[in-house]
Amino acid sequence: MDRKSYHHGNLRQALVEATAVLVEQLGPHAFTLAEAARRAGVSPAAPYRHFKGRDELIEEVARQGFLDFATRLEVAFDEGRPRVLTAFLRMGQAYLDFASDRPGHYMAMFESGVSIAGNAQLAQASERAQGTLLRAAEALASRLPPDQRPPARMVANHVWAMSHGVVELFSRGKPGGRSSVEPAEMLESGVIIYLRGLGLIPE
């Protein structure tokens, strides 16, 4: 990335994009603000016009990641069309695709240790993504009598954890990636077994 990247005044976004690449290459804890500035083609002092420090910059990378992530989940679920289960499983693929397409943002979101609760805009973006999965879990449970429905947030959190586990163990070149089962197949089969165990889908 060079000075042409922000000659229209978009230095803030140039720094975010440079940081996402650095996080992907070096990990969320190894990059420095000075290196982000160098990649963006500016002086080491320039980032301080837009960010108080390194943590605030990586929080912005995470925030933008959550917004894209939430949009992908919403598009995948599509309000449960044409069938809720089909739509629910599409969300799992969207999760894996996001982690593959935007690894720097994914790592900033989930592996950097940023305080989501301490940043209102970041928290809002994260909640939007979680909200989509929560609505999907509620839609799956709607076929059951109210007193037989498992807590929707529990279901959403379990599926989120399962998705994250598949990414961490079997995607992005991790040691477990040598599995003979594709990550998408592993996630889908695991989710189906889990949902069936809760009675959310028929045998």
Q: What digits encode the pLDDT tens for the residues 19-45?
A: 999 999 998 888 888 899 998 888 888
Q: How many residues does the chain have?
A: 203
Domain range summary for the chain, segments of one domain joined by +: 1-51, 54-197
Count how many Cα atoms sit within 13 Å of the Cα of residue 203 in the half-sphere of its side chain.
0
Write the pLDDT tens digit of every residue in 55-93.
899 999 999 999 999 999 999 999 999 999 999 999 999
Q: How far apart are CA 90 and CA 106, in angstroms?
A: 19
Across all residues in the chain, what is the average pLDDT?
89
Q: Which fold has domain 54-197?
A: Tetracycline Repressor; domain 2 (1.10.357)
**H or E element: which one contains 161?**
helix 152-170
* pLDDT exceeds 50 at position 8: no
**H or E element: which one contains 69?**
helix 54-77
Reported pTM: 0.87
pLDDT of residue 33: 87
Q: How far apart are CA 123 and CA 125, in angstroms?
A: 5
Q: How far apart are CA 166 and CA 188, in angstroms?
A: 10
Q: Hey, what CATH class is 1-51 in? A: mainly alpha
